[in-house]
Structure 1
Amino acid sequence: MLLVTSELLVLVLAIVQAESGWIDWSFFGLLSLFVQWTTLTSAALICVFRAKLAQLSIPMATLCIVGIVLLDVLAFSLFADSLLQPNQDLAAWQSIAKKMLMALLIVLIVLRYFYLQHQWQEQREAEIQAHLAALQARIQPHFLFNSMNTIASLIAINPEQAEEAVLDLSELFRASLRNTDQLVPLGRELELCRRYLGIEALRLGDRLHVEWDIAPGLEHQAIPPLALQPLVENAIYHGIQPCAAGGTVRIEAQARGQFVYLLVQNPKPDQSGRQHEGNRMALGNIQSRLAALFGEPAVLKHSQQNDTYTVTLRLPRRKLPSQSSAGSTL
C-alpha cells in the first residue's frame, strides 16, 4: 500500500512538473527511485524498532516515527545530491528542505490513516464481544430453565435422583460459568453434553439411548461455549421426548481436511407437536456466534433422511492451547 500510494503521488508530481506533454518522464524516474528507496528503508527501520515503539504513548511514537522518516529522507537526499550535484548550493538545500517537508506531510497523513483504521478495528472487536456476551447471556437462562424443569419432574418421582441431578447441574454450571473465553476446547463442551444427558437420563430412563463416535485428537478443537449442548437438547426435546418408545441420540465428531464436523442425530421429530421455542432461540444464537467468530467457513445446517434428523456443525480446524483445556476430558 505504501509503495502504490507513493507512486501515485510521484505520478501526480510528474504531471504537474511537466512543461510539455503530459508527464516529465525523467523527473518521474528519478523521483520514483528516490521515493521507493526512502519508503522501503523507512518502513524497514520502523519494523526494526517496532517493539520499542509499541511501549511508547501515541504522541511519542508518532514523533519517533516522524524523526526516523525525516532522518532517512535527509540521508538519501544528501547521498543523491552528492552524486547528481557535487557542489551543493542554496537551491540544493532548498530542494532537500522541500523533500523533507513533503515527507513530513505524507507520514502524518499515513499515520493518521493507520490510527483511524486501528480505532475502527478496536470498535468492531468491541461490538463483536458485546454481541457475543449478549448471546451467551440469553443461552444460559434458557438452559437453566429446561434443566430445572427436568429436576422438578423428578422431585415427585424420585427425590434422591432429583438431589443427585441438582448436584450434577451445579457442577455443570460451574464448568460453564467458569469460562469467560469466546472459544473453549471441544473436550469441555462434550463433557458439558455428558452432564446434561446424565440429567435427562434420570428423567427418561430406558427411553434414552446415546451413541458416541468421537475421533481421537479433537479434544483441543476450538468451539464456542454452549454450541453443542443446545443441539443435544434439541434432539432430546424433538426426537426422544415425543416418542413413547424413546430413541437414540448419536453424537459424532470427525476431522476432514481443514474442517471438523460435529453431528447430532435423533429420530425424526413429530411435525404435529408444538415446537420448542427455547431451542429455536438457542440455534439462532449458535448461528450468530459462529458468524461472528469464524465467518463463512463455519456452517450450521440440518437435514432429514428417512426417519433420522441430523444437525451438522462445521468448524474450521483450529486448535486451542492445551492449558486452556485443563480438566476437560472426552
Structure 2
Amino acid sequence: MTTNDFFVPDLCRVRAVFLLLVTSELLVLVLSIVQAERGWIDWNYFGLLSLFVQWTTLTSAALICLLRARLARMRVSWATFTIVAIVLLDVLAFSLFADSVLHPVGGVAAWQGVAKKLLLALLIVLMVLRYFYLQHQWQQQREAEMQANLAALQARIQPHFLFNSMNTIASLIAVNPERAEDAVLDLSELFRASLQSVDQLIPLSRELELCHRYLDIESLRLGDRLRLEWQIEAGLEQQAIPPLTLQPLVENAIYHGIQPRPEGGTVRIEVQSKGKFIYLLVQNPKPDHGYRQHQGNRMALTNIQARLQALFGEPAVLKHSHHDGIYTVTLRLPRQKVSAPPPARADWRTQRSTDTTKSEPCDD
C-alpha cells in the first residue's frame, strides 16, 4: 500500500492540522460547558484543557506524520493499533507532566484523572480513525465510479459513425487509395483511444490530435458541407484535460448541427486562457425545431460534467447555450499542466498542430 492509498490523511499538511485543532477545540468547549457549575462555561477549565489538548494533538499529529510511510505499509488493523498507541502514550506523558506541575502530591485521585483522560482519548481516536476510514472508502468508491464513467465514454463511438466511416473508406479505395489509407489510420487511432486504458488526465495536444483525426474522417463523408474554424491559443499544449472530453463534443456538433442540414455548416473550436482558467468552446449551427435530438447528446454532456467535477471539483464548469442560431458548449478548466509529455506520433501530420485561426477540411 502506498501513502496515497492510506486511509489516514497526510497530517503534515497545514489544512489537515488546522481541521484537527479546530475539532479538538470544539470538543474542549463542549466539555467546559458541561463542567461548569456556575455560568455557561468554566474558563479556568477551558484554558487548561485547551493547552493540554492542543499540545497532545500537535505532537501526536507530528509523530503520525513522520511515521506515515511505515504506517501505510501495515495492515489496517496494525496501523490503527499503532496510531492508538502513539496517541495514548502521548496523552499519558502530558498527563503525568501536568499532574506533576498542578498536583505534585499525587495520589489515587490523580491516577483516576489520568485514567479518565486515557479512556476519553481512546474513544476520540477510534471515532476519528473510523471517520477517516469511511471517508477513504467513499473516496475510493467515487474514483471507481469515475473510472466506470470514463470507460463507458471511451466505448461510446457510435455505430453509425463506424458504418459511415467504413463505407467512406470503401468508396475511396479504388479512386484514392492513399487517402483511404490515411482514413483507416485515423479510424484505428480513434478506436485505440476508445478502448485503451488511459490516464485520468492527458495533454490538451493529444485530445486535439484526436479531434483532428475524427474531423478528417467526417470531412471525407460530408465534404464541403463541413466547414471548420480553429482558434487555438499557443502555449496550452500541456494543459491537463480528461481523455475523450473534447472529441465527443465535436462529434455532437457534427451529428446534431451539421448532418441534419442539407447546406451543412461551420463547426468552430476555440481554446483560450483567461487568468487561472482555460476555456474550450465548441460551436455549431442550431438544428431546426423539427429535428429531434438524440438522447446521446445529453448523456455525453452529463458524463463529461461528472468527470470534470470528480477530477477538478467546483473550478471546472460545463455549460451550453444557444444564441442567434448558434449552439455553444463551453468548458472551463483550471490551469494545470500534465507532467509527462505527449507521445510523438510518426504518422501525425505536423501542419495540423500549428496555431491557425481558420482551417477548412483537408482534401489532399
Give yes or no for TM over 0.5: yes
In structure 2, the residue corresponding to 1:32 is in which secondary structure?
helix
1:300 to 319, 330, 340: 319
TM-score (norm 1): 0.83
Pair 1:37-2:55 in alignment: yes
Residue of structure 2 in register with 1:152 after alignment: 167
Which aligned pairs between 1:267-278 and structure 2 lie closer than 5 A? 267-276=285-294, 278=296
Match of 2:80? 62
Give the TM-score normalised by structure 2: 0.76
Letter in 1 for 2:167: A
Q: CA RMSD in A?
A: 3.0
Q: Specify the SS of the correspondent of 1:34.
A: helix
* 1:314 and 2:332 correspond: yes
- Judged with a 3 Å threshold, the aligned counterparts in structure 2 of structure 1 residues 293 and 35 are, in CA distance, closer, same or farther, namely closer
User: Contact 2:165–2:221 at 8 Å: present in 1 too?
Assistant: yes
* Equivalent position to 1:225, from 243, 247, 256: 243
Paired residue secondary structure (1:201):
helix
Q: Percent identity, aligned pairs only? A: 68
Q: Give CA-to-partner distance per residue, 1:285-318, whole Å, 9 cap, x none.
A: 334433444444321313233x544332322322
Gaps (5+ residues) in structure 2? 1-18, 354-364
The answer (yes or no) to whether the contact 1:233–1:279 under 8 Å persists in 2 is: no
Shift of residue 54, structure 1, vs aligned partner:
1.9
Instruction: Give distance in 1, aligned partners of 2:41 and 2:299.
Output: 63
Which runs of structure 1 show a deviation greater than 6 angstroms over 4 or more consecutive aligned residues? none
Instruction: Give structure 1 stretches of 5+ with no counterpart.
Output: none
**What are the superposed Cα offsets for residues 186-240 of structure 1, whole Å, 9 maximum, x if unpaired?**
1111111111111122223334332322111111222222222222223333444
Partner of 1:193: 211
1:170 matches 2:185: no
Aligned pair partner of 2:254 in 214, 232, 236: 236
Distance 1:209 1:302 in 2: 21
The total of aligned residue pairs comes to 325
Larger radius of gyration: 1
* Cα distance in 2, alignment partners of residues 75 and 173 from structure 1: 63
Alignment partners' CA distance in 2, 1:118 and 1:171: 36
Inter-CA distance 309–25: structure 2 relative to 1 (3 Å threshold): closer
Cα-to-partner distance string for 1:75-115 (whole Å, 9 max, x where unaligned): 22222222223333343333333322332232222222222
Letter in 1 for 2:271: A
Report the AA paired with residue 321 of structure 2.
H
User: How far off its partner does 1:153 sit?
Assistant: 4.5
With over 3 angstroms needed to count, the CA separation of the structure-2 counterparts of 1:326 and 1:179, relative to structure 1, is farther
Inter-CA distance 147–302: structure 2 relative to 1 (3 Å threshold)? farther
Q: In the alignment, is the contact (CA less than 8 A) between 1:14 and 1:24 conserved in 2? A: yes
Alpha-carbon separation, structure 2, partners of 1:178 and 1:216: 29
